[in-house]
Structure 1
Amino acid sequence: MSNIEGVILDWAGTAVDFGCFAPVNVFVDIFKHAGIEVTMEEARGPMGMLKIDHIRAMLSMPRVSALWKEAYGRAFNEEDVQRLYAEFEPALMVSLSEYTNPIPGVIDTVEALRSQGLKIGSTTGYTSSMMEVVVAGAKEKGYAPDHVVTPDDTGSYGRPYPYMIYRNMEHLKLSAAWKVVKVGDTTSDIKEGVQAGVWSVGVAVGSSEMGLGEEEFHGLSASEKEAAIARTKQVFMEHGADFTISTMAELPALIERINGLLAEGKRPGFVR
Structure 2
Amino acid sequence: MIELAVFDMAGTTVDDHGIVYIALKDAVEETGATVATADLQEWMGADKISAITALMRLGNQKPTEQRVAAAFVRFREILAERYAATPPVALPGVEEAMAILRGRGIKVALTTGFDDAVAYPLLESLRWAVGAGTGTTVDAVVTTSDVVAGRPAPFMIHRAMEKTGVHNVRKVLAAGDTVVDVQAGRNAGGISVGVLTGKLSAKELAAHSHDYILAGVVDIPELAETQSA
Question: In 2, distance between residues paired with 1:36 and 1:159?
Answer: 23
Using the TM superposition, give the Cα deviation of residue 144 of structure 1 relative to its aligned residue in structure 2, in angstroms.
2.7
Structure 2 contact 173–193 (Cα < 8 Å) conserved: yes
Matched, 1:238 2:229: no
Matched, 1:38 2:35: yes
Structure with greater strand percent: 2
Structure 2: where are the runs of 5+ without partners?
130-134
When the two chains are superposed, the root-mean-square deviation of aligned CA atoms in Å is 2.4
Question: In 2, distance between residues paired with 1:181 and 1:48?
Answer: 17
Matched, 1:121 2:109: yes
In the superposition, the TM-score normalised over structure 2's length comes to 0.87
Moved more, 86-95 or 187-196: 86-95
- CA 237–250 in structure 1, closer or farther in 2 if over 3 Å, else same: same
- The residue type equivalent to 1:78 in the other structure is E
Question: In 2, distance between residues paired with 1:26 and 1:18?
Answer: 11
Matched, 1:53 2:50: yes
Structure with greater helix percent: 1
Instruction: Select 1:107's aligned residue among 89, 95, 99.
Output: 95
Tell me the residue number matched to 2:142: 149
Tell me the residue number matched to 1:225: none
Matched, 1:131 2:131: no
Matched, 1:207 2:207: no
Instruction: Select 1:29's aligned residue among 26, 29, 39.
Output: 26
Tell me the residue number matched to 2:74: 87
In the superposition, the TM-score normalised over structure 1's length comes to 0.74
Q: Secondary structure at the match of 1:148?
A: strand
Using the TM superposition, give the Cα deviation of residue 186 of structure 1 relative to its aligned residue in structure 2, in angstroms.
0.4
Structure 1: where are the runs of 5+ without partners?
69-74, 210-231, 264-272
